Structure 1
Amino acid sequence: MELKHIVMLGIVVLLIVFPLLFIKGKFSGADDQAEDVIKEINPNYKPWFHPIWEPPSGEIESLLFSIQSAIGAIIIGYFIGYYKGKREAQ
């Protein structure tokens, strides 16, 4: 491997490891934060919709969200590649 590839790989590893080791805090989604603000503004607010199924833990919820985003990225990447290949073939 070239030196630039090793340096870039090292930077990626640092970007992954640094937050996990040194940044402590509660990670929550924007939905939870929005619900807290709404309840603070209007304490009598009652949600008009409840989820059909609630994941058993935050980790499962994150996993499902990651799978959903990966599937979307694959679909978008496929169509971008398909149309780029089609254009180059002409």
Structure 2
Amino acid sequence: MSSTKNLAMWLAVVALAVVPLWVVERPEAAPGAEAVKLFGGADDKARDMIGTIAPEYEPWFEPLMEPASDEIASLLFALQAALGAGFIGYFLGGAVMRERLRRERSPSDTTP
């Protein structure tokens, strides 16, 4: 019975993740405009603005690895954010637990 529940849960998770991506269509660009980017971010806007303000600007270095597509770059950014949040949550949870254990071990203030 539990394996059926697990399978149903996995199918629901996969459906909730895949169906919206399958249904969404890429918007078409206006005639004469550049293609619409679904996963453009602040980095691209900043790069474009720097190019407008100071066209002679040269970057200090080149990236070590260029992601294959904007979608991969977004995935890597989301993975980095999730790992950072997990790291912070782990250490905050550990600090709360240490404080809780410290309070339980300390002698009570009410004993004479």
Q: TM-score, normalised by structure 2?
A: 0.55
Match of 1:85 among 80, 89, 97: 97
The Cα of 1:63 is off from its aligned counterpart by: 1.1
User: Rg bigger for which structure?
Assistant: 2
Structure 1 residue runs of 5 or longer lacking an equivalent are: 1-12
Q: Which has the higher contact order (CA 8 A, sep 6+)?
A: 2
Q: Given residue 57 of structure 1, which amino acid in structure 2 is its aligned partner? A: S
1:75 to 87, 92, 99: 87
Percent of aligned pairs sharing the same letter = 48
- Detail structure 1 runs of 4+ shifted over 3 Å in the superposition: 24-27
Q: Which moved more, 1:37-46 or 1:73-82?
A: 37-46
Paired residues, what number? 71
For normalisation by structure 1, the TM-score amounts to 0.67
Give unmatched runs, 5+ long, in structure 2. Answer: 1-15, 28-35, 103-112
Q: For residue 54 of structure 1, what is the aligned residue in structure 2? A: 66
